[in-house]
Structure 1
Amino acid sequence: MSINATLFVQAIVFLILVWFTMTFVWPPIAKALDERAQKIADGLAAADKAKSELRAANQRVEQELGQARNETASRLADADRRAQAIVEEAKARATEEGNKIVAAARAEAEQQAIAAREALREQVAALAVKGAEQILRKEVNAGAHADLLSRLKTEL
């Protein structure tokens, strides 16, 4: 066999091999590569979508946290205002109660002073009667001179 015939036969065998490969081998490989590329593209798209959803979720979380902080701050401010109002009310009640106690104590002290004056008047009247009795050296009848004693009490 000559070299030209060998080259020609080898070229034909090579073309048959290329045709066989292009017809039976290459389409499944290309299909597998396309499927793989599609899966990768879908995965990248899903990753991008997940990243955007994560960003959106983070923004919502930040907004909700901000709202929660604002709500908490307003509730704390309301609680402080209520506490101040309660303290002021308690102070007012305590002042009012203190004023009542002072007024009651003054009234009681005044009543005691009046009672002490009355007792002192009676004692002075009794001493005056005893003094007059000793001066006159005779016994004074308290029943007969009750009017005189009552006038003496009022003068004292």
Structure 2
Amino acid sequence: MSINSTFFAQLVVFAILVLFTMKFVWPPIAAALDERALKIAAGLAAADKAKSELSVANKRVEEELAKSRNESALRLAEAERRAQGMIEEAKAKATEEGSKIIAAAKVEAEQQTVRARETLREQVAALAVKGAEQILRKEVNASVHADLLSRLKTEL
């Protein structure tokens, strides 16, 4: 292989091509690559930030869920306590109403007993008069013997 002028010419053309490439072609390519690297880095940073925000948000959600579970448990306990109070109050009212009904029934029964006794006294007096009429075989005047009959009623 012989070194001749074409080799030197090719070497000069190559050097000019390298200088041209380094001066005009390489800087926009390097800038585009640097810009792309910055975008990728920014995207990765945003992804990491979003991941940490998601983690924080998940923790907040869990805290809120626990808080709402506790509140709902407290509300349920309060509702059960109120329900028990209402039941006890209803039982007390029902017992009171039952006592009133029983007392009224006792009063009514006593009144019916008194009326039944009065009715029986009247019937016994009437039977006594009829019995006396039949024994004497004559009519007994009720207006004359009213005092006798009222005494008989009181004795019965």
SS at structure 1 position matched to 2:144:
coil
Residue matched to 2:79? 79
Q: For each residue in 1:19-66, what CA deviation from the matched residue of structure 2 results, as whole angstroms up to 9, or x when unmatched? A: 212111111111111001001001101111111111122122222222
Q: Provide the rounded CA distance (Å) in 2 between the counterparts of 1:28 and 1:124.
A: 137
- Please list, as runs of the form range in 1=range in 2, the aligned pairs for 1:1-156 lying within 5 A after superposition: 3-156=3-156
Q: Provide the rounded CA distance (Å) in 2 between the counterparts of 1:139 and 1:24.
A: 159
SS at structure 2 position matched to 1:3:
coil
SS at structure 2 position matched to 1:10:
helix
Cα deviation for residue 128 of structure 1 reads 2.4
Q: Provide the rounded CA distance (Å) in 2 between the counterparts of 1:26 and 1:133.
A: 153
* 1:78 maps to amino acid: E
Task: Report the more deviating stretch, 41-50 or 116-125.
Answer: 116-125
Q: Provide the rounded CA distance (Å) in 2 between the counterparts of 1:130 and 1:30.
A: 143
Cα deviation for residue 85 of structure 1 reads 2.1
* 1:106 maps to amino acid: K
Q: How many positions carry a matched residue from both structures?
A: 155
Cα deviation for residue 120 of structure 1 reads 1.0
Cα deviation for residue 80 of structure 1 reads 1.9
Cα deviation for residue 136 of structure 1 reads 4.3
Task: Report the more deviating stretch, 17-26 or 81-90.
Answer: 81-90
* 1:53 maps to amino acid: E
Q: Provide the rounded CA distance (Å) in 1 between the counterparts of 2:14 and 2:67.
A: 74
Q: Provide the rounded CA distance (Å) in 1 between the counterparts of 2:141 and 2:77.
A: 82
Task: Report the more deviating stretch, 28-37 or 88-97.
Answer: 88-97
Taking structure 1 as the reference length, the TM-score comes to 0.85
Q: Provide the rounded CA distance (Å) in 2 between the counterparts of 1:136 and 1:13.
A: 174
Over the aligned positions, Cα root-mean-square deviation in angstroms equals 2.1
Cα deviation for residue 138 of structure 1 reads 4.4
**Paired-residue identity, %:** 77
